[in-house]
Amino acid sequence: MRQGGPWLLVQAVLVFTVSACDHDHSLIGSRRRHFHEELAQPKHRACGTSHDNPLHGPQIAAAERRTYGAVQAALGGKGAVAAALAASAFPNSGVTLPITFHVVRWRGYSSTADMVTPPVTEQQVAAQVDVLNADYSGTGLQFAAPAVRFYDNQRWAGDCWGLLGEILDAVVKAPGAAVNILVCDLASSGGILGVMPDMPNGFNELDSSQAVAIDYRSMPGGPYTRYSGGRTLTHELGHFLGLLHTFGEGSCKASGGNDGIFDTPAQNTSSNGCPIGKDSCPDQPGVDAVNNFMDYSDDSCMQLFSLGQTARMQAVMLQYRPTLLATAMRLAAGNTTAAGSLPKPSPPPPRPPPPRLPAPRLLAASALPPQAKASPPVPGKPQLLHGRKAQQPAPRQAKRSQRPPAPPPPRKFLKASPNFGTTG
């Protein structure tokens, strides 16, 4: 018993320690699962984009007038707006914008606070672009096959919202060469799904702030049951192209509502879920556009951009993003190979082969029509053949003699006078 007493005590301590460790690991795993479940079920959509920008006012109206004429004046005339769109400087065939995704991760995960959700893959990025192209069909805007860049950075993966400016300065090197998308953990650090840091204003086209940031869980295949359909990026790119939220305090007092678009009804409050028929401005015509991509509805409820919103996005591309538009036009011409790459020189056109002259065709006398051989030619009068003058034979030159030419006569030189060269 004396020999076994200490050994039994050691065994008891080891068993207690292992049990405590197992309990701690179980508790940590439970907390992680609880954290993941909370993140997977956000109570509402949250966007960090501010409406305090120069586009909300006379500037954007002036841009639309420069681009489409009296678009804002056609408050009830959708036909006039459609005609203005067709006659504008924006390419009728539309443009395809190059797009680059900057994905933050750390040790195989997209966040230091979430060790449950799988990291973002290139397949998810491709699926996200498919959603964008479906949502923006009919606006004249599409997106090219994406370029994807990964960044392993513990600080960025732990506090993307707090370090947003630093991250964008580091990764967005050519704002005018492509649409730049930052994918990181915004929900844990900022409580939002996406943000457009600085709306376009005509002076910031080439700033690193001209990018969009989204939470990685909002992409197709993410854990958000209501917000993982890819519509967060559709919404934020609407801000990138000059659109505001369809709702806002004071909207019921203004014609055209909060966003200044003639065909989006006035809407005082954001939508949660999919409340079809909701009317937050009963004294204004129309009900809330809960199906619009610029509301806060669930992803499955978002379905459309209005005609007026399409006009504004095209106006912003022409007036405030000319460098990006020119890049897209070069891409359409086949002069770029990837998103953000520089244009490559066009090869010289191939030299055309020399033209082949047809061989002359000789007609036998029997093949000529009867009128061409009815009468012999009259001297001094041109002969007509099928209504055309026949060529007259050239006069024959006299045959030259075969004798060698006679030598020229000898040159005679006059004898100089004795007085030559003297003055008299």
Is 236 one of the catalytic residues?
A: yes
Long-range own/partner contacts, residues 417-420 (CB < 8 A, 24 or more apart): none
Element containing residue 129 per DSSP (H, E): helix 122-135
Q: Determine contact, residues 157/101, Cβ cutoff 8 Å.
A: no
Residue 198 CA to residue 61 CA, distance in Å, equals 19
Sole residue written with tokens 């020399």: 354
* Number of Cα atoms under 13 Å in the Cβ half of residue 246: 31
* 48: Cβ contacts below 8 Å, ≥ 6 apart: 161, 186, 190, 192, 194, 195
Q: Determine contact, residues 268/280, Cβ cutoff 8 Å.
A: yes
Long-range own/partner contacts, residues 23-31 (CB < 8 A, 24 or more apart): none
Q: Which residues of 252-274 are buried (b: 16+ CB within 10 A; e: fewer)?
A: beeebbbbbbbbbbbbbbbbbeb
**β-pairing, 384-385 with 95-97?**
unpaired
Q: Which residue in 344, 339, 345 sits closest to 175, CA to CA?
A: 339
Residue type at 98 in one-letter notation: P
Of 38, 64, 205, 236, which residue is the catalytic one? 236
* 278: Cβ contacts below 8 Å, ≥ 6 apart: 271, 287, 288, 290
For 314-369, the DSSP string reads: HHHHHHH-HHHHHHHHHHHTT--SSTTPPPPPPPPPPPPPPPPPPPP----GGGS-
Q: Which residues pair with 313 in a beta bridge?
A: none
Residues annotated as part of the active site: 236
